[in-house]
Amino acid sequence: MTGAVIAGEFLAFPFLRDCGTNRAMQENDNHVSDRNGRPRKARKPLDSKGFEEIALAYVARFSTTSTKLESYLARKLRERGWDADSGPMPDPAVISARFVALGYVDDAAYARARAGGLLRRGYGPRRISQALSAAGVDAADRADVAPDAVAERQAALVLARKRRFGPFGRGEPDRKLREKQIAAMLRAGHRLENACALVDAQTVDDAVEWAGQCYD
């Protein structure tokens, strides 16, 4: 690239110091783009105080797990960098572990809340386990919140009612529609036997009775 040095400053093009091209390039060095491509000023690198503040703000705003907090902090360090003058760069895993010890982050509580929310929305045990695993919840905590047979059936009923499957739809589904509805319930994490029982129920009352049989 051709350029010029004026008073110890390298200019991208050998034009005047206040040339529009040079001004634009110098301004762009101090900006980054947001998700919509609009320029915005680059934020200062994180220091010890700022890093602690974003960690506290995150756990105050979101229900989270130690793994999710660690990933969030690592991403922030990649995005903003670290101010070396403030001391050694912190380890996100150490910060996450400290927040767990302080009670700011509770994986088991997160698992209970997340599993309950997914059940109420009509998701089955497989999808619940997958969601918790993706959030970093360990196998023991996932097992503790695994739905029992009653909860599984009730969640399947919720989904069938919401999506108008089986007796909740208009008329008895033909073979193609039946297979499509069963596949949708399987994708939502339900067991095959539960999906078939609901889709094949003759009436809404039959479906509700089936879902309540485990209470006996």
> By mean pLDDT, which of 28-32, 116-120, 129-133 is the weakest?
28-32
Tell me how far apart the alpha carbons of residues 53 and 42 are, in angstroms, rounded to a whole number: 19
The reported pLDDT for the residue numbered 207 is 95
Q: Are residues 183 and 200 in the same domain?
A: yes
**Cβ atoms of residues 129 and 142 within 8 Å:** yes
Mean local confidence (pLDDT), 195-213: 93
Q: Which residues partner with 46 through β-bridges?
A: 82
Q: Are residues 112 and 211 in the same domain?
A: yes
Q: Are residues 76 and 130 in the same domain?
A: no
Q: Which residues partner with 6 through β-bridges?
A: 9
Is pLDDT at 100 greater than 50 in this prediction?
yes
The reported pLDDT for the residue numbered 214 is 62
Mean local confidence (pLDDT), 48-58: 96
Question: Is 160 buried (19+), middle (13-18) or exposed (0-12) by CB count in 10 A?
Answer: buried
User: Shortest CA distance to 216 belongs to which of 157, 153, 150?
Assistant: 150
What are the residues whose beta carbons fall under 8 Å from the beta carbon of 76, sequence distance 6 or more?
46, 51, 54
Q: Are residues 173 and 100 in the same domain?
A: no
Q: Are residues 120 and 204 in the same domain?
A: yes
Tell me how far apart the alpha carbons of residues 40 and 28 are, in angstroms, rounded to a whole number: 9
What are the residues whose beta carbons fall under 8 Å from the beta carbon of 59, sequence distance 6 or more?
69, 99, 104, 105
Q: What angle do CA 127, 65, 72 make, to 5 degrees?
A: 105
Q: Are residues 95 and 61 in the same domain?
A: yes
Say what percent of the chain tops pLDDT 70.
81
Q: Are residues 31 and 55 in the same domain?
A: no
Strands (E), 36-91: 39-41
The token pair that represents 83 in the structure block: 């101010």
In total, how many domains does the chain have?
Answer: 3
Q: Are residues 87 and 164 in the same domain?
A: no
Is pLDDT at 189 greater than 60 in this prediction?
yes
Q: Are residues 31 and 58 in the same domain?
A: no
DSSP 8-state secondary structure symbol assigned to residue 171: S
Domain, as residue range, for 18: 4-41
The reported pLDDT for the residue numbered 32 is 53
Distances (CA, A) of 147 to 59, 116, 124: 27, 9, 8
Q: Are residues 149 and 179 in the same domain?
A: yes
Q: Are residues 140 and 58 in the same domain?
A: no
Mean pLDDT score across all residues of the chain: 86
Q: Are residues 129 and 209 in the same domain?
A: yes
